[in-house]
Amino acid sequence: EVQVLESGGGLVQPGGSLRLSCAASGFTFSHYAMTWVRQAPGKGLEWVSLLSGSGGDTYYADSVKGRFTISRDNSKNTLYLQMNSLRTEDTAVYYCAQVRGIWTFDYWGQGTLVTVSS
């Protein structure tokens, strides 16, 4: 059974940093691209970043480019999102998901809440 489980969310002050993790199981992790998607409270979905299976290709939304870094450790079946220079508008539930085919997000975790507030 495919499972992805996010962790690392919490309360952080504006300008601070946080690293999210996403532990995957039930599939050959290195064979799949992975992605982060966020959802601000009461709002819609916003794609954040995507990383190829090998880790060689990265993609970012304009809203996070230069502040967030996506990475993975295929030996640990884990995806990461390093978030720096956080802003109040980054407050959201962050989901990770397995990428199926071309930019289709198949299996999603339950999300981890990031709150940026002073």
Task: For residue 62, state whether it binds other proteins (rule: CB under 8 A).
Answer: yes
* Options 10-18, 69-77, 81-89, 99-107: segment touching other proteins (CB under 8 A): 99-107
User: Residue holding tokens 């975790």?
Assistant: 109
For the CB of residue 14, give the shortest distance to other proteins in the complex, in Å: 23
Task: For residue 37, state whether it binds other proteins (rule: CB under 8 A).
Answer: yes
How many CA atoms lie within 13 Å of 10's alpha carbon, on the beta-carbon side? Answer: 10
* Options 25-33, 38-46, 70-78, 82-90: segment touching other proteins (CB under 8 A): 38-46
For the CB of residue 13, give the shortest distance to other proteins in the complex, in Å: 27
Residues that bind other proteins (CB under 8 A): 35, 37, 44-47, 50, 59, 61-63, 95, 100-106, 108-111
